[in-house]
Chain A
Amino acid sequence: MTAPLIEVEDLAVTYRNRGRRSVLAVDGVSLAVDRGRTLGLVGESGSGKSTIGSVMLGLVAPSQGRVSLDGRPASWRTRAERAGLARRVQAVFQDPFGSMNPTRKIGQTMTEMLRYNLRLSPAAVAERVERALTDVGMRTEALDRYPSQFSGGQLQRLAIARALVVEPDFVVCDEAVSSLDLSVQAQVINLLAGLAKARGLAYLFISHDLTVVTHLSDQVAVLYAGQVVELGPAAAMADHPRHPYTQALVLAAPIPDPAAQAARRASRWSRAGSGRPGSAGIGSGSPPATTGCRWAPRCPFAVEQCRLSRPDLLERTPGWSVACHVTPPDSE
């Protein structure tokens, strides 16, 4: 069996909270992305999903665990190592307006990596840039303009093009479509999906939106409070989530189908235990537990064991792992 394209093992990241106590943002996470495949990473704010992306990009140093590329450990310590990894691993971020330096022309931003890192000839630079622009559906006139002359959707296309010019194998998309309007979001989702096929790209697709992640990913990992609670095939997991937290996520996400949404709502209320709409129910105030299962304080199925020991992420069916001591009923 060949090694995955990129892999993190037993990852932990601790943030020091400006002098106060340190916060464990990621706790014992192992994930792998195969060549040409997309791994979705879903979770709410504070789940550590962006931190995992940052570790894979070398922007955050893990306090424990390792990152490997093609089975070899990846390191960002020296400048040469950083420059080498920059050719293979790229990123597209959430805010298209923040992703491009407002004081520099698009062309200056797009070409600097090719000129200063890959040290290509001007002709080769022009050719690469043109190809990337064509791929994202933009014209070369864009190079002569400043970011403020584009809409959010166009800038996000340009940000994708900038990630593509080095012809990477792996792109981290951190909430890459979250700030876009629905109609533009659909265009960019299609673009990302098309590029993956055409260029054989692998993605780590990070989002809080389960529906978007499901559509784009082959596999999805669900994070809660820095830990993976479920990892499985995208479509099947969205339909029949097995971990109570994944189920809560699915039930809470409203869908534009009145009958199905009414069913979801009823199911959610019955789980909240009271059936009374508006009650605090599962208790949005409860923070994640520090021992045992982190979701236990908000879990309707929690038993004594959940508060005592942390459940391991175990494979229940081939390619589908769940970290839960109990087997909750299907949510639908």
Chain B
Amino acid sequence: MIGRLLRKPLAVASLVWVLALIMLSVLAPLIAPYSPDQQDILHALEGPSRAHPLGTGVLGLDVWSRLLYGGRVTLVSTAISVAVYALVGLPAGLLAGYRGGLVDKVVLRLSEVAYAIPGTIMVLVVLAVRPNDETAAMVAVGLLAAPALARVVRSATIAVREELYIRAAVLSGLPDRLILRRHVLPTVMGTVIVHVALFATTAIVLETGLGFLGVGTRQVSWGELVAEASRNLGNQPWLLAPSGFVIITFILAFGLIGDGLRDANAEGYSVRQRAPRPVRRHRPPAAAAPPNAPADLTPNQRVIPAADALLAVEGLSIAFEVSGQIVTVVEDVSFAVAPGELVGIVGESGSGKSVTVAALLGLLRGTGRVTAGTMTFQGRRFDLADVKSLAGLRARRIALIGQDPMSGLDPAFTVRHQLAEVLKANTGLRGPALAERVLELLRAVSLPEPTAVAKSYPHQLSGGMAQRVSIAAALAGQPDLILADEPTTALDVTVQAEILDVLRSLGKAVLLVTHDWGLLVDLCQSGIVMYAGQVVEQGSVADIVADPRHPYTLGLLRSNPYFAQPGRPLPAIPGLVLPPDRWPAGCHFAERCPLVGPACLADPIPLGPAAGRLGWTRCLFQSQVAGLEEREARP
């Protein structure tokens, strides 16, 4: 960790500065040209000069020398309070969080008491009792702040305690002491470092403040130099500068060291970025690819003629910026949806299915943006990169249902409020008609008690109810197409079946995104299979399932335990999906494919028509896919 810290220039500079201040204070008697109380009456309150590099104060006391000596007080006092703070707060927080029970209650109550009294006042109380005993005051500062640290550590520990790896460690029979030291402590360390550094800065401010008020130690201190400056503001404002400079830079250094330590600690175990790779150039579609001219039919033309299509997406590519690099995650995706048609996109995580759908409404997260692609919706053409033009379609033409119903609703407002708001934004409804429409929408998604649900806040609903509310919200603008992005993944199967029934009953076109073949088969007429950012196969669901033309489609279908032969291993696809920055120029599936040949590796594989049936596939050997299954079936 030290090594990583030393690679951060700001932190190193700060460290050097703190060490320098420590050295200077320790060596003050050797370095200082004058003793701290040596007077030079003739040169009182002067600016910097050769004899007094930082000028003089009252009675001609040398500022530079007093600064050197003064540092000793601040350094020692800060160290004392930080030590007390960390040594009391950290163990108390760890124990309270890990063990709970009585320790926990005591820590919580103590922190409430500590929060109820401004720190400066309590320190003054201590100093009223023990005049000028700065050590006692700084111990009190540490003790007063320690419950706050304990509280922070406690929350962090409780969060860690729930982690599975702590459970696994408990199952390993490790003693609590080892679990705390080896598993809990490293995880909460980042938080602790930040808080200790932050407290150090507070302690320095407080200590210099005490010196300024003249209630701290009787020795010369930085704070006292500020006080001296304040008494002579009128005739020598320069005096503010030297003491201010050391105090501010000292605090700043602690803040920066804290930041550096926290980052160094986190970098130790978080993802090391892969060696930078050249940004993949987006290749123009090869000549053999389906022509993209607007007059032409969309790739799944034989399923849905484009002229009749409600939605036709052409040549959609999406890229994200990941640590300064542009990474393409979706490449040249084209498909169409007919009015009222139920279409499903099936794929694994990283296939690009969810981002594809998000792009249609201009709702890509983070740094994502559309790099190419157009959409024709109800005869109007849209540039998918033009997010503003897509915003007009939201809710009134195309609605979205998200994956996690609970987090898709604003927790701070009732269902009624949220539905009414959507209606107001998208329809002319107002007043009683609006209220009636809210209930009507809730009834439309088969919620048994619409009035009760309308009054509820999202956290009072079950997952299934919340997803029905989401669907109701999606229906509010009377859209013609509903994008459903894994709408049932967070739900139980019996609830999932009911949500699918609701979607089926709407009579609207649905574009479903799913990882579950069963859902695709249950709900959809047409299917689109995606792998590593590309459409690898599309056609009618019945055809895809019965007669797959891409080895990935077949492999993914056969991975499903439903098709398993009892007592025999599942025919799993070997290997892993490549991350987007390592996709090859040729077939993205080549590395895992049993049919791979030299032709698959060189150039992008175009999406071509399926032979002998409707649909499209991105495989050069589609006729051999069926043979794979027979090979698989042989003992």
A→B interface (CB under 8 Å): 44-45, 57-59, 79, 82-87, 89-91, 93-95, 98-104, 108-109, 112-113, 116-117, 146-149, 151, 153-154, 159, 162, 166, 181-187, 189-190, 193-194, 208, 210-212, 214-215, 235, 248-249, 251-258, 261, 265, 268, 276-285
Contacts and interface: CB of A to CB of B under 8 A. Distances in A.
A190 B570 contact: yes
Given A148-B271, A277-B504, A280-B448, A252 B496 contact: yes
A95 B183 contact: no
A104 B164 contact: no
Given A103-B187, A153-B576, A183 B165 contact: no
B495 A149 contact: no
Contacts of B410: none
A317 to B, nearest CB: 19
B613 interface: no
Interface string B435-447: 0000000000011
A165 to B, nearest CB: 9
Contacts of A211: 560-562
Given A109-B165, A149-B271, A254-B497, 20 more contacts: A86-B172, A93-B167, A93-B168, A101-B165, A108-B182, A146-B270, A166-B172, A181-B515, A183-B555, A183-B573, A183-B577, A189-B570, A208-B493, A211-B561, A252-B497, A254-B519, A258-B546, A280-B448, A281-B501, A284-B494
23 contacts: A44-B494, A86-B172, A93-B168, A103-B269, A104-B182, A104-B269, A112-B174, A116-B175, A151-B576, A153-B576, A162-B168, A183-B555, A252-B497, A253-B518, A254-B496, A254-B497, A256-B545, A261-B522, A278-B504, A281-B501, A284-B462, A285-B448, A285-B449
Interface in B432-479: 446-449, 462, 464-465
A253 B493 contact: yes
A82 to B, nearest CB: 5
Nearest to A249: B493
B280 to A, nearest CB: 21
A252 B545 contact: no
B542 interface: yes
B515 A101 contact: no
Interface string B514-543: 011111111000000000000000000110
Contacts of A116: 172, 174-175, 178
B171 A59 contact: yes
Contacts of B235: none
B31 interface: no
A256 B524 CA distance: 11
Contact of B518 (A185, A189, A261): A261
Given A254-B518, A277-B505, A44 B182 contact: no
Nearest to A278: B505
Given A117-B172, A182-B515, A256-B560, A44 B566 contact: no
B573 A186 contact: yes
A101 B163 CA distance: 9
B501 A254 contact: no
A262 B517 CA distance: 14
Nearest to A79: B175
Nearest to A47: B492
Given A113-B172, A113-B173, A190 B516 contact: no
B598 interface: no
B518 A255 contact: yes
The 5 closest A-B pairs by CB, nearest first: A278-B505, A254-B518, A86-B173, A256-B517, A186-B572
Contacts of B506: 278
Interface string B162-193: 01110111111111001000110011010000
B502 interface: yes
B283 interface: no
Contact of B556 (A84, A85, A182, A248): A182
Interface of B: 163-165, 167-175, 178, 182-183, 186-187, 189, 268-272, 348-349, 446-449, 462, 464-465, 492-498, 500-502, 504-506, 515-522, 541-542, 545-546, 555-557, 559-564, 566, 569-574, 576-577
B167 A59 contact: yes
B493 A44 contact: yes
At the interface, is chain A mostly helix, strand, loop or mixed? Answer: helix
A190 B569 contact: yes
B171 A86 contact: yes
A148 B494 contact: no
- Taking each of B165, B269, B504, which has the highest tally of chain A beta carbons within 10 Å of its own beta carbon? B165
Contacts of B560: 182, 186, 211, 256
Nearest to A93: B164
A252 B522 CA distance: 10
B163 A98 contact: yes
Contact of B464 (A210, A258, A284): A284
Given A104-B269, A252-B494, A254-B516, A117 B521 contact: no
A235 B163 CA distance: 34
A265 B500 CA distance: 11
A104 B268 CA distance: 9
Contacts of A45: 492
A103 B186 contact: yes
A182 B495 contact: no
A112 B169 contact: yes
Nearest to B500: A254
A93 B168 CA distance: 9
Contact of B465 (A254, A255, A285): A285
Given A103-B187, A181-B577, A183-B573, A256 B518 contact: yes
Contacts of A57: 167, 171
A192 B547 CA distance: 30
A86 B168 CA distance: 10
B348 A208 contact: no
A204 B504 CA distance: 37
A137 to B, nearest CB: 10
Given A104-B269, A215-B564, A261-B518, A117 B173 contact: yes
A194 B570 CA distance: 11
Contact of B173 (A87, A148, A265): A87
A181 B446 contact: no
B556 A183 contact: yes
A149 B274 CA distance: 10
Given A182-B560, A252-B494, A258 B465 contact: no
Contact of B269 (A82, A148, A159): A148
A197 to B, nearest CB: 10
Contacts of B189: 103
Contacts of A184: 576
B521 A255 contact: yes
A258 B497 CA distance: 15
Contacts of A235: 566
Given A265-B522, A280-B446, A285-B465, A102 B269 contact: yes
Contact of B494 (A153, A154, A194, A248): A248
A94 B163 CA distance: 11
A185 B167 contact: no
Contacts of A113: 172-174
B270 A102 contact: yes
A277 B174 contact: no
A276 B462 CA distance: 23
A264 to B, nearest CB: 8
A95 B164 contact: yes
B158 to A, nearest CB: 13
A282 B500 CA distance: 14
A98 B160 CA distance: 10
Contacts of B520: 256
A145 to B, nearest CB: 9
A75 to B, nearest CB: 13
